[in-house]
C-alpha cells in the first residue's frame, strides 16, 4: 500500500529516514527549503556527516531517492521532519516550520495520504498545529500519526531498523495506517494510545538522559569542592553495586538534549517540572564553569592571560559516535569567556571543517601545531583520534603547561611526568598528588550523549 513516500525537511532526522526508506525500496521524495541542501543531495553529496549516508546516495539518488523543492502529487505517506527550534530568549518552541509543512501537505496531497509527524514537539502540537490545516483542506477523513525519531547520530541507519518504533494515531484508523507503514522499516512497533502519548515518549526519553548526566555533573562539582577525584567516587559507587549506575561527568549537548527539556517544560503548562529545568541549567552551566576553571589554572601559572594560546580540541558536541554537529556544543559558551580574558584560541576537530571553526572564533590548527604552539590544551570531546594521542611523547619540549582533559582520556601520569599540570571536570589535583587507583570492574557509563 505504501510505495511513494514524501519526507519534508532533510536535516539529520529527515535525510537519515529518507535514506533508510529508499534503501528499503520505497520511492522517496525528499523536499527541503534550502537550495544548498537540495543541490548537495541531488549530486550525491551528503550535507552532514552520518555513516552510511554517502553510500546510500550513491546507490539510490535519482533511482528510489529524489530531492526537490516541493512535494509531488499522489504520495501514499508524508513524514514531517522539519526543525522545531527553541527560541533562545524565552525557550519556547518555534513551530512555524511545522505549520508551513502542514499547509504544504494539505495543498499538495489528499485524504489518501498518511501524514506522519516526526519532528520533536511539545505535547499537543500534532493535534493543535498539524491537524487543523489538514481538516480544513480534506474534511474529517484525515489519517495523522506521531512517530518520534529516537536515533543517535553515528548509528542512525542501523537504529532506524533496530530500535522499537513508537506510533500514536489521531484515531484507530490512523494508528492502523501508521503501524502498517512503519512495519516496512522497523523490526518492532510500539503502538500507544494517541498523538500526545507518542509526543511525550520522545520528550521523556531525552529529558531522562539529561537528568542522568546532570547528576554525574553534580557529583563532579561536589568532588571538586573537596579536591576529590569524581571518577574514583563514581567507579567505587558503581563497582558490583546492583542499583542504577552513576554516569561520568561530561558535557551534554546536541540538537535534542539541548532543546527537548524546554519542550517538556512547555508541555507541563502551569505545573512546571521540579527536576527538568534544574538539570538543564546545571548542564548548561558546566561549560562556563570549566572555562572559568581553565582561566583560574592558567592565572596560577601565568598571571596575565592576554596573548596566552589555548588549543581547544573537539568542537563538535561529541566525539563518539563521531559527528560534525555543532548544535549544543560546549565550545559556544566557552569562547566568550576566553575572549574576555584575552586568550588566543586555536581550534581542531577531526570532523569539523576549518571554516566552521573560524566562523565560531577559533584559529584552525593541526594537532601537531596545537601541542607545539599552545600554552595550554583543553580537550572537549573524546574522538578516537584524541584517545590515541601519545601525550607522553607529544608534550616534552612544548610550551604546554596545562592539559584540561574533560573526558579523562589521556594518561595522566604521562602528562604529569612531562612537567605539565593535569585537570578534568571536577578534578583539580594538586601538583605532586598521584592519580587515584582504578579498581577493576565495569566502567561507569559515559556521558557521550545521543542526538
The pLDDT assigned to 441 comes to 47
- The whole-angstrom separation of Cα 364 and Cα 353 is 9
For residue 327, the model assigns a pLDDT of: 95
The tens digit of pLDDT for each residue in 315-335 reads 999 999 999 999 999 999 999
Res. 158: pLDDT tops 90: yes
**Neighbouring C-alpha atoms within 13 Å toward the C-beta of 300:** 12
Picking from 31, 29, 27, 28, the residue whose alpha carbon sits closest to that of residue 11 is: 31
β-pairing, 77-80 vs 376-379, is unpaired
- The pLDDT assigned to 430 comes to 76
Q: Would you state the pLDDT for residue 204?
A: 97
Strand order in the sheet with 376-379: 363-364, 344-348, 309-313, 376-379, 402-405, 421-423
- To the question of domain 214-423 being in CATH 3.40.50.720, the answer is yes
CA-closest candidate to residue 281, choices 262, 294, 254, 263: 262
Residue 448 has pLDDT above 70, yes or no: no
Specify the residue for cell string 531517492: 65
d(CA 177, CA 181): 6
Beta bridge partners of 192: 168
Give the chain's end-to-end CA distance (angstroms, integer): 32
Q: What is the band of 31 on the pLDDT scale with cuts at 50, 70, 90?
A: very high
Contact present, 163 and 186 (Cβ < 8 Å): yes
Q: What is the DSSP letter of 139?
A: T
User: Between 195-225 and 260-267, two packed helices, what is the crossing angle to 10 degrees?
Assistant: 120
> Of 138-147, 251-260, 358-367, 437-446, where does mean pLDDT reach its minimum?
437-446
Q: CA 146 → CA 124, 165, 199, 204, distances in Å?
A: 11, 11, 7, 15
Specify whether the backbone of 342 is left (phi greater than 0), alpha (psi in -120 to 50) or beta. left
CA torsion angle for 286, 387, 335, 348 (degrees, to 10)? Answer: -160
Q: What is the mean pLDDT of the chain?
A: 94
More confident residue, 277 or 449: 277
pLDDT for the residue numbered 431? 65
pLDDT tens track for 171-185: 999 999 999 999 999
User: Residues 427, 404: contact at Cβ < 8 Å?
Assistant: no
**How large a percentage of the chain has pLDDT more than 70?**
95
Contacts of 392 (CB under 8 A, 6+ apart): 411, 414, 415, 417, 418
CA distance 96 to 35: 19
Backbone φ and ψ for 33, nearest 5 degrees, come out as -80, -15
User: Given the DSSP bridges, would you call strands 165-169 and 144-146 parallel, antiparallel or unpaired?
Assistant: antiparallel
> Which CATH entry fits the domain spanning 4-193: 3.40.50.300, 3.40.50.720, 3.30.565.10, 1.20.1630.10?
3.40.50.720
pLDDT for residue 301: 86
Sorted by where each begins, the domain ranges of the chain are: 4-193, 214-423
* Mean pLDDT value of segment 347-371: 97
Distance (Å, whole) CA 124 – CA 121: 8
CA dist., res. 200 & res. 204, Å (int): 6
pLDDT at 289 over 70: yes
Which residues, in sequence order, are CB contacts of 236 under 8 Å at separation 6+? 439
Strands 4-8 and 77-80: parallel
Q: Which residue has the cell 563538535?
A: 316
**pLDDT at residue 198 above 70?**
yes
Q: Is 394 left (phi over 0), alpha (psi -120 to 50) or beta?
A: alpha
**Helices and strands in the chain, H and E counts:** 19, 14
pLDDT per position as a tens digit, 93-118: 999 999 999 999 999 999 999 999 99
Q: Are 106 and 136 in contact (CB under 8 A)?
A: yes
The pLDDT value given to residue 303: 85
Helix (H) / strand (E) containing 434: none
Range of weakest confidence among 18-27, 287-296, 436-445:
436-445
Mean of the pLDDT values across residues 29-56? 96
Q: Look at residues 209, 270, 283, 259 and name the one whose alpha carbon lies nearest to residue 93.
A: 259
165 vs 162: CA distance, rounded Å: 9
pTM of the model: 0.92
State how far the Cα of 76 lies from the Cα of 181, in Å rounded to an integer.
Answer: 9
Q: Do residues 311 and 377 lie in contact, with contact meaning Cβ atoms separated by under 8 Å?
A: yes
Neighbour count for residue 6 (Cβ, 10 Å):
28
- Write the CB contacts of 252 (distance below 8 Å, at least 6 apart in sequence): 209, 210, 213, 214, 217, 258, 283, 286, 328, 447, 449
pLDDT, residue 433, reads 55
Question: Same topology for domains 4-193 and 214-423, yes or no?
Answer: yes
Cα 433 to Cα 416: distance, rounded to the nearest angstrom: 10
pLDDT of residue 442: 43
**pLDDT tens string 413-423:** 999 999 999 99
Question: Across-strand partners of 125?
Answer: none
Rg for the chain (alpha carbons), in Å? 24
Amino acid 434: pLDDT: 58
Amino acid at each position: 500500500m505504501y510505495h511513494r513516500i514524501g519526507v519534508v525537511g532533510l536535516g539529520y532526522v529527515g535525510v537519515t529516514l529518507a535514506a533508510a526508506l529508499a534503501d528499503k525500496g520505497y520511492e522517496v521524495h525528499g523536499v527541503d527549503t534550502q537550495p544548498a541542501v537540495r543541490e548537495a543531495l541531488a549530486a550525491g553529496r551528503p550535507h552532514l556527516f552520518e555513516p552510511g549516508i554517502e553510500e546510500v546516495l550513491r546507490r539510490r539518488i535519482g533511482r528510489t531517492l529524489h530531492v526537490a523543492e516541493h512535494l509531488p502529487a499522489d504520495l501514499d505517506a508524508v513524514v514531517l521532519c522539519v526543525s522545531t527550534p527553541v527560541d533562545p530568549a524565552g525557550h519556547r518552541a518555534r513551530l512555524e516550520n511545522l505549520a508551513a509543512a502542514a499547509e504544504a501537505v494539505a495543498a499538495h496531497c489528499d485524504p489518501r495520504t498518511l501524514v506522519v509527524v516526526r519532528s520533536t514537539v511539545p505535547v499537543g502540537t500534532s493535534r493543535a498545529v498539524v491537524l487543523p490545516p489538514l481538516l480544513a483542506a480534506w474534511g474529517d477523513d484525515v489519517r495523522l500519526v506521531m512517530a518520534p525519531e529516537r536515533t543517535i547520530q553515528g548509528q542512525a541507519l542501523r537504529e532506524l531498523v533496530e530500535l522499537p518504533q513508537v506510533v500514536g494515531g489521531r484515531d484507530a484508523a490512523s494508528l492502523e495506517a501508521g503501524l502498517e507503514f512503519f512495519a516496512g522499516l522497523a523490526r518492532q512497533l510500539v503502538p500507544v494510545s494517541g498523538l500526545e502519548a507518542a509526543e511525550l515518549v520522545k520528550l521523556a526519553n531525552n529529558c531522562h538522559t539529561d537528568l542522568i548526566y546532570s547528576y554525574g555533573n553534580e557529583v563532579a562539582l561536589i568532588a571538586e569542592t573537596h579536591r576529590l577525584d569524581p571518577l574514583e567516587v563514581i567507579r567505587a559507587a558503581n563497582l558490583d553495586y546492583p542499583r542504577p549506575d552513576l554516569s561520568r561527568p561530561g558535557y551534554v549537548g546536541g540538537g535534542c538534549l539541548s532543546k527537548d527539556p524546554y519542550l517538556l517544560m512547555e508541555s507541563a503548562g502551569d505545573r512546571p517540572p521540579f527536576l527538568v529545568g534544574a538539570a538543564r541549567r546545571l548542564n548548561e552551566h558546566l561549560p562556563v564553569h570549566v572555562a572559568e576553571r581553565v582561566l583560574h589554572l592558567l592565572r596560577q601559572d601565568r598571571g596575565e592571560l592576554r596573548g596566552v594560546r589555548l588549543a581547544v580540541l573537539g568542537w563538535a558536541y561529541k566525539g563518539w559516535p563521531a559527528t560534525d554537529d555543532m548544535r549544543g556544543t560546549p565550545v559556544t559558551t566557552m569562547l566568550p569567556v576566553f575572549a574576555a580574558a584575552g586568550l588566543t584560541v586555536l581550534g581542531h576537530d577531526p570532523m569539523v571543517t576549518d571554516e566552521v571553526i573560524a566562523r565560531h572564533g577559533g584559529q584552525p590548527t593541526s594537532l601537531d601545531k596545537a601541542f607545539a604552539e599552545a600554552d595550554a590544551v583543553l580537550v572537549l570531546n573524546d574522538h578516537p583520534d584524541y584517545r590515541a594521542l601519545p601525550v607522553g611523547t607529544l608534550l616534552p619540549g612544548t610550551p604546554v603547561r596545562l592539559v584540561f582533559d574533560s573526558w579523562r582520556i589521556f594518561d595522566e601520569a604521562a602528562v604529569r611526568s612531562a612537567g605539565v599540570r593535569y585537570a578534568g571536570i571536577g578534578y583539580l589535583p594538586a601538583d605532586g598528588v598521584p592519580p587515584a587507583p582504578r579498581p577493576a570492574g565495569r566502567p561507569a557509563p559515559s556521558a557521550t550523549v545521543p542526538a
